[in-house]
A = this chain, B = another copy of it.
Amino acid sequence: MADSRFFSKARIFTVGELADMLDCALPEDADASVVLDDVCPLSNAQPSHLSFLDNIKYKEDFLTTKAGACLVSPQMAEIAPKGLVCLVSDTPYKAYALAAQAYYPEKQPDSNISKLASIDKSAKLGKGVCVEQNVVIEPNVEIGKNAWIEAGAVIKEGVIIGDHVRIGAQSTISHSLIGDYVRLYPGVRVGQDGFGFAIDPEGHVKVPQLGRVIIEDHVEIGANTTIDRGAGPDTIIGQGTWIDNLVQIGHNVVIGKGCIIVAQVGISGSCIIEDFVAIGGQAGMAGHLRIGKGAQIGAQSGVINDLDGGEEYMGSPAFPKRQFFRQVAALNRLIKRKKRD
């Protein structure tokens, strides 16, 4: 299914091989020897394809799919259409992710330093590094092994980059220490000055931004996202946090492990976001707030106070989700009553 101009399939699998690899249960009557030559969404899948059901919105597609096999939860397996082989997992989407990675492993470039790259002689590059055209690597930069620096990226003086990192085309990085297995998408800006100045009618006075950006291992940062360096303390992105496109992260922000930050979110300076917080698209956080562990903040929320962990929030200003929807309902009752009056 995947366009071969862009994707290379590594191999194919039998149902049995997939069940073993993904730690899935097979119904008793399932034929483990069926060969599945590709992965595919439910709606387009053919009998030789592996598909998955994760979002209940796609139940209809599930009931009518032509897929040969499907990764599903135990509950959904019970209503599977006849002839569909169910690979049953408590985490079917994770299982699909691993399956798709097995069919289509991520491309790794050959180790190669482009003659069109501009690399200062004091920079240290690890084994297996790929540096593409027009990359600029300034003095005293260190880049770990098997890192991939895409075309046009600019790595400013003194930046340290770990192993197996991929830096997207035309990203810029300064004043930063970056861990292993980090990935920056194209156009990311990391380490520029934070928005720090003393307001003055004679002309705002710049406050030197003397901190860094620390990015821990396994972080992903989406296209055109901007992460300012600290003003004195550092800006820190915790291990395994995923950040989407066009996100703004202000100076001194500290983000914990495993957070999920959806596109166009803005996090003002000096916020502390604890581990496993999820922030929906376009939400914003005022400065100097603490968001507790595991909090879930809805899209477009506007957070102006510290939030306890483990709860869902919505609205601008943000309230617990139930309270927000009660507000919306109350407003609508109000306008109906008015109409009746």
State the A residues within 8 Å of B (CB): 1-3, 5-7, 39-41, 43-44, 55, 57, 91, 93-94, 96-98, 100-101, 103-104, 106, 114, 116, 118, 132-134, 136, 140, 150-152, 154, 157-158, 168-170, 172, 174-175, 185-187, 189, 192-193, 195, 197-201, 203-208, 210-212, 218, 220, 222-224, 226, 228, 231-233, 240, 242, 244-246, 248, 250, 258, 260, 262-264, 266, 268, 276, 281-282, 284, 286, 288, 299-300, 302, 316-317, 319, 323, 326-328, 330-335, 338
A118 to B231, CA, bound (A): 35
Contact A266 B282 (CB under 8 A): yes
Q: Are A299 and B302 in contact (CB under 8 A)?
A: yes
Would you call A97 and B205 a contact (CB within 8 A)? yes
Contacts of A206 on B, CB cut-off 8 Å?
97, 101, 220
Which residues of chain B are within 8 angstroms of A284 by Cβ–Cβ distance? 264, 281-282, 299-300
Contact indicator B100/A207 (Cβ below 8 Å):
yes
Q: Which of B152, B174, B264, B319 contacts A264 (CB 8 A)?
A: B264
Starting from the known contacts A94-B200, A284-B299, 4 additional A-B residue pairs (CB-CB under 8 Å) come to: A3-B158, A3-B212, A94-B205, A97-B206
A39–B232 touching, CB < 8 Å: yes
Given A195-B263, A198-B94, A204-B240, CB of A212 within 8 Å of CB of B6: yes
Contacts known (A91-B198, A186-B192, A198-B91); A300 close to B299, Cβ less than 8 A:
no
- Chain B residues in 8 Å Cβ range of A40: 232
Alpha-carbon distance between A170 and B172 when the two chains are bound, in angstroms: 8
Residues of B within 8 A of A150 (CB): 154
Inter-subunit contact B281/A268 (CB<8 Å): yes
Contact check: which of B6, B118, B136, B208 meets A157 at CB < 8 Å? Answer: B6
6 closest residue pairs by CB, A with B: A94-B198, A5-B158, A189-B223, A2-B210, A226-B245, A172-B186
Among the interface residues A132, A195, A286, which one has the most CB atoms of the partner chain B within 10 A? A195
Q: Which residues of B contact A323 (CB under 8 A)?
A: 332, 335
A-B contact pairs, 6 of them (CB 8 A): A116-B118, A199-B260, A248-B264, A250-B263, A282-B282, A331-B331
A160 to B, closest residue via Cβ: B5
For A136, give its contact among B43, B118, B132 (CB under 8 Å).
B132
* Among B7, B226, B316, B327, contact of A224 (Cβ-Cβ < 8 Å): B226
In the assembled complex, which residues on chain B have CB atoms less than 8 Å from the CB atom of A174? 6
Q: How far is the CB of A23 from chain B (nearest CB, A)?
A: 13
Contact assessment for A57 and B288 in the assembled complex, using a CB-CB cutoff below 8 Å:
yes
Contact status A260-B204, CB under 8 Å = yes
Chain B nearest CB, measured from A45 CB (Å): 9
Neighbouring B residues of A233 by C-beta, 8 Å: 41, 43-44
Tell me if A205 and B268 are in contact (CB < 8 A): no
Chain B residues near A319 (CB-CB < 8 A): 332
CB distance from A113 to the nearest CB of B (A): 14
Minimum CB–CB distance for A109 against chain B, Å? 11
Contact check, B198 vs A172: say whether CB atoms are below 8 A apart. Answer: no
Q: How far is the CA of A338 from the CA of B23 in the complex (A)?
A: 50
The answer to whether A208 and B100 have CB atoms under 8 Å apart is: yes
